[in-house]
Amino acid sequence: MSEARLKFQPLSSYESKENTPYKLLPFNFTHLDSNRYVLTNLAGEYLVLTKHELDLLISKKLPIGTINYNNLIAKNFIYDQSSDVAINLIALKFRTKKSFLSEFTSLHLFVVSLRCDHSCPYCQVSRQNVDTSQFDMTKETANKGIAFAFKSPSRSLKFEFQGGESLLNFQLIKYIVLTVEERNKIENRDIQFVIATNLVFISDEILSFCNEHKVLISTSLDGPEDLHNKNRPRPGKNSHQLTIQGINKVREALGPQSVSALMTTTKASLTRVKDVIDEYITQGFNSIFLRPLSPYGFAIKTKSYKKYDTQEWLKFYFEGLAYIIEINKSGHYFAEQYASIILSKMYTPTEPGYVDLQSPAGIGISAIVFNYNGDVYASDEARMLAEMKDETFKLGNLDNNSYEEIIGSDKLLDVLEQTMSESVPGCSECAFQPYCGSDPVFHHATQNDMVGNKPNSFFCHKNMEVFKHLVRLMEDPDTRKILLDWVRC
Amino acid sequence: MMKLYSRIKPLTNTNLTKRFLAKISDNPNIPNALRSGLIFLKKNNERMPLPSGFHSYFIFDENHLSDKNFGNVFLLPPEFNYLANDDIAVINPEKSAVKILFRKNSPFNSILVTENCNNFCLMCSQPPRNINDRYLINEILSMIPLISPTATEIGITGGEPTLLGEDLVTMFKRFKACLPNTAIHVLTNGRNFTNTNLVKNIASVVHPDLMFGIPLYSDVPSIHDYVVQAKNAYNETLKGIINLKSLNQKVEIRVVIHKQTYQRLPQLAEFITRNLLFVDHVALMGLEMMGFTKANIDSLWIDPADYQSELVEAVKILDRFRMNISIYNHQLCLLDKSLWRFAKKSISDWKNEYMPECSGCSIKSECGGFFSSAHYKYSKHIQAIV
């Protein structure tokens, strides 16, 4: 044994030699605050360094064996003589992050009707009266949409029914579900159905069909009764009451996790974030998606979009986030979904697959929209834009164009090529690029340019602030524990 | 500790010129045709004549040996009374010794395939020897068909098994042919899997249940290399793991927790979830007081009670990603309660013991206990849970 003891070498003899400096792997850095930077690698792993530490790192003077040195080497920001496996690992991680691209389009939205009983001022759709059935999708169009969806190479296909108010054309939803199921006996894909509805027209017949065919429900809930009814007017002024009744009916029939809700933030909501969150908790939801208005459709016509700016939105969002974190600290699990998506990008090797935060943009290749009349749009927002007579993102029509013509169209491919944020000015050198994405429809709508000028972009400003805010929140150990629970692994 | 190796006393003439490996039988009426390949085990001390025709005989009481006409009769020390029908032993005539290679009634059988190694770990429990032990390969190949097909799992250990190269592939083929329902678990440092041909050949065996247990001691290359005392080890081990997984081989990451590894345990867990999420199992293990560990005790020992916060955090990170996690070689009274559901009774039966402090403990039967070697040093915080 004494002979063996002599053979053991100290740690220093396995460290890189002082006179052969480490090498840098690709990474970006962006100011976090006056003296600190966020650094991210290609796979979205991040570190925070002071300016002095960053200077040392880049000038290759970082002392070997220090905590920063070890963290940087373990997260593949640098490598040295001891191992070059970092190159294999970073390549593997980058491929993993981008692997969703080969899956291609999963979400197929069918606008089964433009009719609606509500008259929400922020609505993204030019709604039609309840009894004008020429704005319903026909079976012929639906069949073509189904055939189109099954052309997608994706192993999982999600069929989402939208409106207008989708349940005003429930017969067609029923037809699509049954036809897809029949077709899937041969295709054998993972199929999911979701009905987006305001729940006014939910009935036992519909629920029993949903139960039998495992159809999920997605609805809108903007907050407590007064706020919700103000945001979502309908004859009878009882939208909130009907929505809550509907949610409870759905849960009763399909189970507690079968219904999800989305909220939209209006000017009237800005001072009410705690009320909105409390409403979600009261109604038994375990998460909320705090969403700003979209600059489309009625929102622009009724000028509700311009009613608040980025700063007001961020104040609302951060106040809400702080309140939700306090709720979690008191021992009740409740998540904010936008933060959850970004945290999942920061803390997992995979992509959560959120259409608005993808590079290239998720339009067409993550989700595609079939309008009631067979028009095919690259995204739901693209459809809204077309309602305003801007057909930039209309890819074709199910009656006139084949799958190959639409998916292979220059219209779509050009957008995708332009929205690789890895090469977009203002994005390619941003530390938050791995967490961010491209929203060409938004930038086209607001700046008349798909790529957009980032210093003037609400999208960029909003997301940069959210990323930085989350990085700072993660520095507090108690908050960190809570936020990590929101990560979808 | 159960005795698996001992000098044995020949009681009659022996005609062994080389190592003899055979299955043990306690059936005196087994067909004559089979006897010349078997070792007869006489367990009871009745004054009964030995059955004729067996190659060798193991007995426990020389006073009851009435018939000295048979060759190759050996006296076994009483500690071997656990031996049973269908166990496998090898007799080494040079050293007049026996080694028990397989016990049918144990779930913990492992086969040492070489004592050579290309690592030199600070805490190696089976210190490598630079000797020529290639003869073991044929011995093992001849042993595999003798192993009871009811065996659930067999470990392959060393030394470094992959130093066998293609011979290891031959071994896997034979395991698959003879023991298709037996899981094979290989303890390897994975470095030789940088050889993609070796990995391809292993994959082409299409063994139904083959797992490679590979140690990774740090997310930092120099710290891993220091622990295994080999330059380039981290580099090759990780490339090896990637090669194995790219051909769909099962991989387990094994982390021994000690003074050199506990501090960055959470970072290592994060590294695994970030880079190696595709591995099949992560085992977090306590130190075994064997081999080199004793020589390096000062640079290795930390009381497990003192690294609970790092262990809890690491497990939480791995569990968040729903990784398959086990904690081995840790006594329940030392583990944070949140970790109990991950603790496994992992110590092989022949070297598994409990300490005096354990008497009266209400959860002793659920606790994995200690390595026999822990008598040398164990935690000050061991206490019966009543």
ipTM of the complex: 0.91
User: In this complex, is the C-beta atom of B278 within 8 Å of any C-beta atom belonging to chain A?
Assistant: no
Q: What domains appear along chain A, each with residue ranges and CATH number?
A: 21-98 (no CATH), 103-412 (3.20.20.70)
Distances, alpha carbon A236 to alpha carbons A118, A122, A200, A222, A487, in Å: 10, 19, 12, 17, 41
Pairing of strands B352-353, A259-262: unpaired
CATH of domain B109-375: 3.20.20.70
User: In this complex, is the C-beta atom of B53 within 8 Å of any C-beta atom belonging to chain A?
Assistant: no
Q: Residue A246 belongs to what H/E stretch?
A: helix A239-254
Do A28 and A433 contact (CB within 8 A), yes or no?
yes
Nearest CA in chain A to B274: A349
pLDDT along chain B (386 residues), means of 10: 92 91 95 96 81 94 77 93 95 94 94 96 94 96 96 96 98 98 98 98 98 98 97 98 98 98 98 98 96 93 97 97 97 96 92 93 94 93 93
Whether the pLDDT of residue A297 is over 60: the answer is no
pLDDT at A296: 64
Best residue in B115, B125, B130, B222 to probe A by mutation, most A CBs within 10 Å? B222
Average pLDDT, integer, range A372-387: 90
Residue B340 CA to residue B366 CA, distance in Å, equals: 10
Residue B73 CA to residue B67 CA, distance in Å, equals: 10
Please give the model's pTM, rounded to 2 decimal places. Answer: 0.93
In B, residues 300-329, which contact A (CB 8 Å cutoff)? Answer: 320-322
Whether the pLDDT of residue A457 is over 50: the answer is yes
Spatial CB neighbours of A372, under 8 Å, sequence gap ≥ 6: A111, A112, A113, A114, A135, A136, A137, A141, A164
Residue B190 CA to residue B235 CA, distance in Å, equals: 10
Whether the pLDDT of residue A247 is over 70: the answer is yes
Shortest distance, CA A347 to any CA of chain B (angstroms): 8
Q: What single string gives the DSSP state of each residue in B170-205?
A: HHHHHHHHH-TTSEEEEE---GGGG-HHHHHHHHHH
Tell me the torsion sign for CA atoms A88, A90, A91, A97. positive
Do B241 and B279 contact (CB within 8 A), yes or no?
yes
Whether the pLDDT of residue A41 is over 70: the answer is yes
Q: Is B232 left (phi over 0), alpha (psi -120 to 50) or beta?
A: left
The torsion of the CA quartet A94, A95, A99, A102, rounded to 10 degrees, works out to: 130
User: Chain B residues with CB inside 8 Å of A74's CB?
Assistant: 219-220, 267, 271
B159 prior amide bond cis, ω within 30:
yes
Neighbours of A291 (CB within 10 A): 14
Whether the pLDDT of residue A38 is over 90: the answer is yes
pLDDT at A1: 43
Nearest CA in chain A to B243: A88
pLDDT at A302: 61
pLDDT at A3: 46
Q: Residue A210 belongs to what H/E stretch?
A: helix A204-212
DSSP B57: E
- Average pLDDT value for chain A: 93
Shortest distance, CA B85 to any CA of chain A (angstroms): 38
Residue A452 exposed, middle or buried by CB count within 10 Å (0-12, 13-18, 19+):
buried
- Confidence band, pLDDT 50/70/90 cuts, at residue A30: very high
User: In this complex, is the C-beta atom of B252 within 8 Å of any C-beta atom belonging to chain A?
Assistant: no
Average pLDDT, integer, range A286-301: 78
More confident residue, A131 or B146: B146
Residue tagged 């409106």 (tokens): A163
Choose among B292, B294, B305, B228: nearest CA to B260.
Answer: B228
pLDDT at B156: 98
Average pLDDT, integer, range A262-286: 96
Q: For B196-305, where are the alpha helices, taking DSSP H only?
A: 196-205, 221-228, 233-246, 265-275, 292-295, 297-300
Mean pLDDT comparison of A37-46, A287-296, A346-355, highest-scoring range: A37-46
- Confidence band, pLDDT 50/70/90 cuts, at residue A293: confident
Choose among A378, A407, A390: nearest CA to A444.
Answer: A390
- Among A4, A15, A85, select the one facing B235 at the smallest CB separation: A85
- Among B120, B222, B294, select the one facing A15 at the smallest CB separation: B222
